[in-house]
């Protein structure tokens, strides 16, 4: 037989595109059209409906960037269409190649209720299944003219303040038409068979069976009368569509989904509308297809619907009760997990799961994080303590270097906790359920022979409208189809239950799920990251002192509602395109403004509580919020600092510069303003490598291959400029309590002023760097070459730390050329180490070099600032204040203590006398992460602690108030199963035993 395969396949593609698909809607008549352009920001629905509309027509331009245009569409169903299925086709000027990244619309009835959304693959509205002639149509379309910002080029369209005012779109079509059901079904048949056929091997007989059936179907179609011949064509395809799948076919659990970034190439206010549009489509699709299941994560997005679209929220609640609309994830937003602090990660689950329970009476069991940029090794324990069972991710498939070896596995965290995890082999969270993607999932699945199933999230995301009737048609046809994986639309929990039952002994992956991509997100948008870190610290302070005042001060009211509202604001801004710095300028401008408001409000709450605790008096009391005592003031208490040790001295250094000393450290700053010695006087060890200079600012070119704000590629290291030119150096403070040397440098179009301070009694050199940054596509680092032979570095993460190799023996280690650390990063050899502390910096790199003297130099560098041009061309431009510190002779325990001290500054309030801590812990290895009152408003005190050094620890928790019981609880403050209730000992203490990095939440019942 001659091979005419390519001819038939080409014929199919052309006939589908040019004849059959256009025939789905026939006999169209235009609708009357009028418009109103809303001034400024979006208006309430009632205002849009009541506006003064002016006539317009298809073909007219509309919509400047970020504008809203309301269209009124009216018309009458022709009498000759009686009994036919009628739809309106409302095309705002869509580009079908970019669903979710352009204009969108939401159709309303005259009473303001929503009908459905308009998107590139969902531009129809059903008028009637069986129309009556003369039926009147009247709708109002709220159309958003969001600019297309996916070209990865610098643009000022990313902020309304700098965007243009020219129309971006042109109305393409506003018609009534007959919906030809049989033609639509034929389209679905042919598309599924085409996709399946082209995935089969050219030697597979099944491919040719489909080919011949398609050929016959195309022969049966009269191109001049597609509606009249569609049924005959479908008959030709019935046989190949009925052939059942092989018994060993891969099994796919298809879950409807619409991944909607809570902010990214659009501002937060537009996401509010995106989730309403998509959700309205989903509940409508559920009405028509009772088998359809849709999973939606992010409690914040459902809360927006509750607030701004209460009528839609009630429809969603009914579908949740029916089991079709499935909340997943259990987090407030799909947050970043690399940079979010430990307590903030807890609150993502606390407020996310609490919302789902309060609003819908359900507890989510899975954690749904397909798109975050890597996953902290602390997460498994947090997941389990939140009451969740399973974890899903997708983004690891984006790694540039190493292919992750599993798709279903147990993920083990830093404390040993394991969580059953799935990584869908379809390699997308926006599947179209087409044959190519399903075949890829089956081929790519790495558990063959042990497991047989995977999960596929399907639907258009980011405002593309979610799953469509076409997706469901593909799922139906591929449920049991020879040559295809078996597809079943079902809830995520159903998949996880089956996968776990089938593969309970899945392999184990221990440690972080590091994404070998998007490493620049540890640094981009420094002020957003600084706002997050400061807000986390301020929330800790506010809760601690407010809880202390609520217990100690009669009449003081704990600000439950204010703290919860602020927490949710901070959690929202931890979304994985806000905190990582990968959103448009509008998003980060608003984030900076929000963080300023958060700071002011939290400082007010803290001051009010501290003032109430201090009482009336003129004594200056220092409040210590850190979890360790300092300067004689206990953790969580206030008083007068004790003496700090030897006075600090400063002398001229031979050859230029200055020598600072305080009896514990001796620091030499040379004539270039660089730290050439940081000598640990107590251990007799030098921290700075021979011939090296620490606190060396370095600048690199920064032009990654694609994702500007997201990525740094390893080749950035090929070229580096050391910033050693000195403008000025002077001693600005000269003891006895502290000595400060200020160093000023100019480079490019920028300046950096660094203040290096050694304090009385301290074993850290504090460095404050004020940078006026005006570079483009540059990367600023601060280097610290250390005389330490370290095989690995330790980086603080949530509730502990992770170790990473300093060598590059394998591609896995080499790929981690940029890493994330929270408050500190540490390098040591047995018996002695050095820590680099920071107040708001997350990106670091660690390298090792062997010297001629046989010693090893371990260089730690902080990533301070970047200057990518997409998606925000002004990223990081302007003034910054960055704080970090060098701590020679520090162990892990010192790093933990000093990291908290740097991030939790003391506060001074005048009062009557010392304030005793609300509680105390007698082992510095056990860190108090949070002290607050219980969420149920019952007045119990919640204490969250963790073991911080990676070893076992015993500690006594001593409440400073009468307690009747101590209940070990989960993160939602519910008693853990088993013997979780402990009665305090006669002296009031509670005995604790913690395994390495264990998180313990204790609920103290007040007498």
Indicate which residues carry an active-site annotation: 371
Question: Contact at 8 Å (CB) between 424 and 441?
Answer: yes
Rounded CA-CA distance 836/838 in Å is: 7
State which H helix or E strand residue 586 sits in. helix 585-614
Please report the sign of the dihedral spanned by the C-alpha atoms of residue 521, residue 298, residue 407, residue 480: negative
Across-strand partners of 623?
638, 907
Both tokens of 593, joined, read 């403004």
Rounded CA-CA distance 866/776 in Å is: 8
Say if residue 441 is preceded by a cis peptide, omega within 30 of 0: no
Rounded CA-CA distance 441/433 in Å is: 10
CA atoms within 13 A on the CB side of 31: 30
Please report the sign of the dihedral spanned by the C-alpha atoms of residue 859, residue 862, residue 867, residue 870: positive
CA atoms within 13 A on the CB side of 704: 22
Rounded CA-CA distance 375/377 in Å is: 7
Angle between helices 560-572 and 526-552 (to 10 degrees): 160
Across-strand partners of 911?
619
* Beta strand ranges found along 525-669 (DSSP E): 619-624, 637-639, 649-652, 658-661, 665-669
State which H helix or E strand residue 531 sits in. helix 526-552
Q: Phi-psi bin for 755: left (phi > 0), alpha (psi -120 to 50), beta?
A: beta
Q: For residue 912, how many other CB atoms are within 10 A of its CB?
A: 13
Which DSSP symbol is given to 263? S
Strands 390-393 and 418-422: parallel
Question: Contact at 8 Å (CB) between 158 and 263?
Answer: no
Question: Contact at 8 Å (CB) between 577 and 267?
Answer: no
CB within 8 Å of 854: residues ≥ 6 apart: none
Rounded to 5°, angle at Cα 714 from 713 and 716 = 80
Q: Whose CA is closest to 649, among 729, 759, 762, 756?
A: 759
Both tokens of 428, joined, read 């997308």
Question: Contact at 8 Å (CB) between 199 and 436?
Answer: yes
Q: Phi-psi bin for 725: left (phi > 0), alpha (psi -120 to 50), beta?
A: beta
Q: Please state the three-class secondary structure of 333-391 as a single string.
A: CCECCCCCCHHHHHHHHHHHHHHHHHHHCCCCCEEEECCCCCECCCHHHHHHHCCCCEE
Question: Contact at 8 Å (CB) between 216 and 420?
Answer: no
Rounded CA-CA distance 93/110 in Å is: 24
Rounded CA-CA distance 253/188 in Å is: 20
Burial state string for 397-410 with b = 16 or more CB within 10 A and e = fewer than 16: bebeeeebebbbbb
């Amino acid at each position: 037989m001659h091979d005419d395969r390519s001819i038939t396949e080409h014929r199919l593609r052309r006939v589908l595109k040019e004849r059959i698909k256009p025939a789905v809607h026939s006999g169209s008549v235009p609708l009357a059209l009028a418009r109103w352009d809303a001034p400024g920001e979006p208006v309430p629905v009632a205002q849009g409906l009541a506006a003064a509309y002016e006539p317009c027509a298809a073909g007219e331009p509309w919509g400047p960037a970020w504008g809203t245009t309301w269209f009124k569409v009216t018309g009458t169903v022709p009498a000759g269409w009686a009994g036919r299925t009628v739809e309106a086709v409302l095309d705002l000027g869509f580009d079908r190649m970019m669903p979710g990244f352009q204009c969108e619309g939401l159709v309303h009835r005259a009473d303001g209720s929503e009908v459905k959304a308009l998107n590139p693959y969902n531009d129809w509205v059903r008028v009637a299944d069986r129309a009556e002639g003369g039926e009147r149509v009247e709708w109002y379309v709220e159309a958003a003219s969001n600019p297309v910002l996916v070209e990865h080029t610098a643009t000022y369209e990313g902020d309304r303040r700098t965007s243009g005012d020219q129309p971006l779109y042109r109305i393409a079509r506003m018609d009534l038409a007959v919906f030809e059901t049989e033609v639509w079904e034929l389209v679905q048949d042919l598309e599924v068979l085409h996709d399946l056929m082209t995935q089969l091997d050219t030697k597979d007989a099944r491919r040719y069976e489909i080919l011949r059936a398609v050929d016959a179907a195309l022969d049966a179609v009269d191109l001049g009368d597609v509606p009249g011949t569609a049924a005959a064509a479908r008959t030709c395809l019935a046989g190949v569509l009925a052939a059942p799948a092989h018994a060993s076919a891969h099994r796919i659990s298809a879950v409807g989904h619409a991944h909607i970034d809570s902010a990214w190439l659009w501002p937060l206010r537009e996401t509010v509308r995106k989730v309403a549009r998509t959700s309205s489509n989903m509940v409508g699709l559920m009405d028509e297809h009772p088998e359809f299941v849709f999973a939606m994560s992010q409690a914040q997005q459902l809360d927006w619907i509750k607030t701004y679209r209460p009528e839609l929220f009630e429809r969603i609640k009914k579908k949740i009760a029916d089991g079709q609309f499935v909340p997943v994830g259990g987090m407030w937003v799909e947050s970043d997990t690399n940079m979010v602090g430990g307590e903030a990660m807890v609150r993502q689950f606390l407020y996310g799961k609490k919302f789902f329970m309060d609003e819908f009476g359900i507890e989510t069991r899975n954690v749904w994080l397909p798109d975050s940029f890597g996953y902290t090794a602390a997460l498994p324990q947090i997941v389990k303590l939140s009451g969740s069972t399973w974890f899903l991710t997708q983004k690891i498939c984006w790694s540039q270097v190493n292919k992750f070896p599993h798709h279903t596995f147990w993920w083990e965290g830093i404390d040993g906790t394991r969580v059953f995890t799935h990584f869908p082999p379809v390699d997308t969270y926006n599947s179209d359920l087409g044959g190519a993607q399903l075949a890829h999932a089956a081929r790519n699945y790495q558990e063959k022979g042990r497991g047989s199933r995977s999960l596929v999230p399907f639907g258009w995301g980011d405002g593309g409208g979610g799953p469509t009737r076409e997706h469901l048609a593909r799922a139906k046809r591929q449920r049991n189809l020879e040559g295809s994986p078996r597809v079943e639309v079902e809830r995520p929990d159903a998949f996880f239950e089956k996968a776990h039952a089938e593969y309970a002994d899945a392999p184990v992956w221990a440690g972080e799920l590091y994404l070998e991509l998007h490493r620049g997100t540890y640094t981009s948008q420094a002020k957003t990251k600084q706002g997050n870190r400061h807000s986390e610290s301020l929330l800790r302070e506010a809760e601690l002192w407010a809880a202390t005042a609520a217990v100690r001060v009669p009449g003081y009211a704990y600000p439950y509602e204010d703290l919860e509202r602020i927490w949710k604001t901070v959690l929202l801004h931890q979304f994985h395109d806000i905190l990582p710095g990968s959103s448009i300028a509008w998003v980060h401008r608003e984030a900076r403004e929000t963080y300023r408001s958060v700071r002011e409000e939290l400082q007010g709450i803290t001051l009010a509580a501290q003032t109430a605790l201090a009482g009336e008096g003129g004594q200056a009391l220092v409040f210590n919020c850190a979890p360790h005592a300092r300067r004689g003031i206990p953790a969580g208490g206030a008083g007068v600092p004790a003496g700090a040790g030897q006075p600090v001295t400063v002398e001229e250094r031979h050859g230029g510069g200055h020598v600072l000393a305080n009896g514990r450290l001796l620091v030499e700053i040379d004539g270039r303003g660089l730290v050439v010695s940081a000598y640990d006087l107590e251990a007799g060890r030098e921290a700075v490598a021979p011939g090296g200079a620490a606190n060396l600012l370095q600048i690199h070119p920064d032009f990654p291959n694609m994702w500007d704000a997201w990525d740094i590629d390893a080749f950035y290291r090929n070229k580096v400029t050391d910033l050693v030119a000195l403008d000025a150096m002077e001693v600005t403070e000269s003891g006895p309590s502290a000595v400060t040397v200020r160093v000023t440098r100019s480079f490019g179009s920028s300046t950096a002023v660094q203040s290096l301070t050694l304090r009385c009694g301290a074993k850290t050199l504090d460095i404050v760097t004020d940078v006026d940054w005006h570079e483009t596509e540059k990367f600023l680092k601060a280097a610290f070459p250390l005389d330490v032979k370290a095989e690995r570095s330790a980086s603080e993460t949530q509730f502990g730390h992770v170790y990473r190799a300093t060598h590059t023996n394998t591609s896995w280690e080499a790929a981690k050329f940029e890493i994330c650390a929270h408050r500190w990063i540490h390098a040591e050899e047995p018996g002695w180490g050095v820590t680099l502390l920071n107040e708001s910096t997350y990106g670091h790199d660690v390298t090792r070099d062997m010297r001629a003297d046989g010693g090893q130099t371990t260089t730690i560098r902080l990533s301070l600032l970047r200057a990518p041009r997409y998606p925000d061309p002004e990223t990081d431009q302007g003034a910054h204040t960055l704080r970090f510190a060098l701590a020679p002779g520090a162990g892990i325990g010192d790093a933990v203590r000093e990291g908290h001290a740097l991030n939790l500054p003391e506060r001074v309030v005048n009062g009557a006398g010392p304030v005793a801590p609300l509680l105390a812990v007698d082992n510095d290895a056990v860190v108090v992460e949070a002290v607050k009152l219980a969420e149920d408003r019952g007045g119990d005190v919640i204490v969250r602690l963790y073991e911080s050094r990676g070893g076992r620890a015993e500690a006594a928790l001593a409440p400073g108030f009468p307690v009747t019981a101590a209940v070990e609880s989960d993160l939602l403050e519910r008693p853990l199963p088993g013997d979780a209730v402990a009665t305090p000992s006669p002296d009031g203490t509670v005995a604790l035993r913690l395994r390495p990095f264990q998180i313990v939440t204790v609920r103290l019942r007040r007498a």
